[in-house]
């Protein structure tokens, strides 16, 4: 399976990539929303892992654009972010409308949990 990882911190990204690739998945890694759209266009991902705190264009702007393409409507998106869950509460409805598969708070998400969440998202019956 192919994962698109959108993560501005290159040091953390390399850790996530190692963990995900150990499960046999391939990973495309980008640091910005703009690059993510280009990369997804070149190779359609099976799942997207997204940090909302990006530079220039936010993760939310990425979500809006990504979901505007019909080809990408059903691709599972996992939010893996520095933003604490309580600060995302006001955006809960908007995120549900974007069909987010899972929301993970990065400082408290182990690699094991991240991998399990990705594997669950890649199951055929995962509802986006």
Q: Least Å distance between CB 8 and other proteins?
A: 4
122: contact with other proteins by CB under 8 A: no
CA angle 95, 72, 58 (to 5 degrees): 45
**Is residue 54 part of the contact set for other proteins (CB under 8 A)?**
yes
CA atoms in the 13 A half-sphere facing the CB of 65:
14
| The only residue of 8, 72, 104, 119 in contact with other proteins, by rule CB under 8 A | 8
103 contributes a contact to other proteins by CB under 8 A:
no
User: What's the CA gap between 12 and 111, in Å, rounded?
Assistant: 11
What distance in Å separates the CA atoms of residue 32 and residue 108, rounded to the nearest whole number? 23
Residue partners of 35: CB distance under 8 A and separation at least 6: none
Buried b (16+ CB within 10 A) or exposed e, 99-120: ebbbbbbbeeeeeeebbebbee
Q: 43, 85, 89, 111: which one contacts other proteins (CB under 8 A)?
A: 111
22 is a site residue for other proteins (CB under 8 A): yes
Looking at beta carbons only, is 95 or 128 nearer to other proteins? Answer: 95
Q: Does 119 bind other proteins (CB under 8 A)?
A: no
Residue ranges that bind other proteins, judged by CB under 8 A: 8-12, 15-16, 18-19, 22, 31-32, 34-35, 51, 53-56, 58, 82-83, 106-107, 110-112
């Amino acid at each position: 399976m192919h994962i698109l990882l959108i993560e501005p911190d290159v040091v953390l990204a390399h850790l996530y990539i190692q963990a995900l690739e150990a499960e046999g998945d391939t990973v495309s890694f980008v640091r910005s929303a703009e690059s993510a759209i280009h990369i997804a266009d070149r190779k359609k991902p099976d799942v997207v892992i997204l940090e909302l705190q990006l530079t220039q264009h936010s993760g939310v702007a990425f979500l809006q654009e990504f979901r505007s393409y019909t080809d990408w409507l059903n691709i599972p998106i996992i939010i893996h972010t520095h933003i604490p869950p309580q600060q995302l509460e006001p955006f809960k409805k908007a995120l549900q409308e974007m069909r987010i598969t899972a929301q993970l708070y990065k400082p408290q998400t182990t690699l094991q949990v991240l991998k399990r969440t990705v594997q669950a998202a890649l199951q055929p019956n995962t509802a986006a």
